[in-house]
Amino acid sequence: MVIKNICCLGAGYVGGPTCSVIALKCPDITVTVVDLSKERISQWNSDKLPIYEPGLDEVVQKCRGVNLFFSCDVETAVKTADLIFISVNTPTKTFGNGKGRAADLKYVEGAARLIAGVATGHKIVVEKSTVPVRAAESIMNILKANQRPGVSYQILSNPEFLAEGTAIDDLLNADRVLIGGEEDSVEGRAAIEELCWVYEHWIPRKNILTTNTWSSELSKLAANAFLAQRISSINSLSAVCEATGADVSEVARAVGTDTRIGSKFLQASVGFGGSCFQKDILNLVYICECLNLPEVAAYWQQVIDLNEYQKSRFTNKVIMSLFNTVTDKQITLLGFAFKKDTGDTRESPAIHVAKILLDEGAKLHIYDPKVEYNQIMEDLTHPCVTDEPERVKKQITIHTDAYSATKGTH
């Protein structure tokens, strides 16, 4: 098989940028990104994309309408595709077994059933979403249970390692691409080679790692757990530094110059956020519990617990610095997304900080050039944040200029 058509199920923070770069680097491959949300697809086809990433606009504008397409016609895209990426959301379960920890795979299952219902010929189905170990087996079981004559599948795992805010650069200059599949079968090895061929258009072969499916799935969870662990480690030392007069930046620099450790992810902060770190660590904790490894589960749970402690510790210091009361005092938040160069507010530490300050009666003035007004309001009036949304709205002022946001602040 020579891959000529790629379909991506899911036009979010992973599917959109990833397939845009594939289209840029593989001009002979037609790439179609599909989503059930008409509004989201409309945004991808407009001048105002649904997500902000440095460099993304330029890539999309160059390829869109040439070999990159965004559509709601899911069935046609699946039928014509040689390779299908599953890049749908995998949130944490909010009810049932594993509530608050296990990954909810309903969207992955839905994608698999959709593929099974309309696929023709041979399809390579690729997990792009972050999933628990052995999720590929579940996908294959669904596909086989609904398999029609003349249709065959190979399942691969190809987790993304990009970071929001640097996604395009991460995709263009990936330090590694990981592909997992059935290495012990001829068909599995052939599917792996097909996906390798796609990435070899711009990624050196030595940077493309191949392994079995289970190792690939676990590697993604492990990578995010290790990165979050580093953040929690330096944040724990920030508390020690503040109590002793040491400078956490100097400690981080001294530690980071050790080549065995390195300097990345050693910047003390309010805590990590985003849609991946907490979700993936909780998933890892749940897997460990299911495997009867309570000590391992407790170890990784501490990374989450330390992150929660850091957010609360920061907010308490703010309140204490204002004579232990912030009622009717103006406090400015410069930045609301979970990190710079993105408009993504999912699990942002700013939401946690804002919640406590609002509960204490503060008047919040907020500025973030990449986050929409409606998104900030939606986050801070969510039932998980407050049961008095009208009161909260009166306490919030959102600015379009950093200087106006800080005017009159305490």
Which residues have a catalytic role annotated?
276
Residue 271, annotated as binding a ligand: no
As given in the structure block, the two tokens for residue 343 are 């408009």
Q: Is 127:139 a contact under the CB 8 Å cutoff?
A: yes
To the question of whether residue 183 is assigned a binding role by annotation, the answer is no
- Ramachandran area for residue 165 (φ above 0: left; ψ -120 to 50: alpha; else beta): left
Distance CA 103, CA 290 (A): 13
Is the distance from CB of 154 to CB of 182 less than 8 angstroms? yes
Helix (H, G, I), strand (E, B), or coil: what is residue 356? helix
The Cα 19–Cα 38 span in angstroms is 18
88 is in an annotated binding site: yes
Give the chain's largest Cα–Cα span: 74
| 267 annotated to a ligand binding site | no
Amino acid at 316: N
Distance, CA of 343 to CA of 374 (rounded, Å): 12
Q: Quick one: 309 exposed, middle or buried, by C-beta within 10 A (0-12, 13-18, 19+)?
A: middle
CA distance 357 to 314: 11
Q: Is 180 annotated as a binding residue?
A: no
Cα 17 to Cα 7, 33, 313, 383: the distances in Å are 13, 10, 36, 31
Side-by-side strand order, sheet with 396-399: 330-334, 363-367, 396-399
Token output for 147? 């398999």
Q: What are phi and psi of 20, to 5 degrees?
A: -65, -40
Query: Is 12 annotated to bind ligand?
Result: yes
Answer yes or no: are the C-beta atoms of 229 and 307 closer than 8 Å: no
Please check if 397 is assigned to a binding site: no
**H or E element in which residue 32 lies:** strand 30-34
170 is in an annotated binding site: no
Q: Is 346 annotated as a binding residue?
A: yes
Residues annotated within a binding site? 10-15, 35, 40, 88-92, 129-130, 164, 276-279, 346
Residues annotated within a binding site for NAD(+)? 10-15, 35, 40, 88-92, 129-130, 164, 276-279, 346
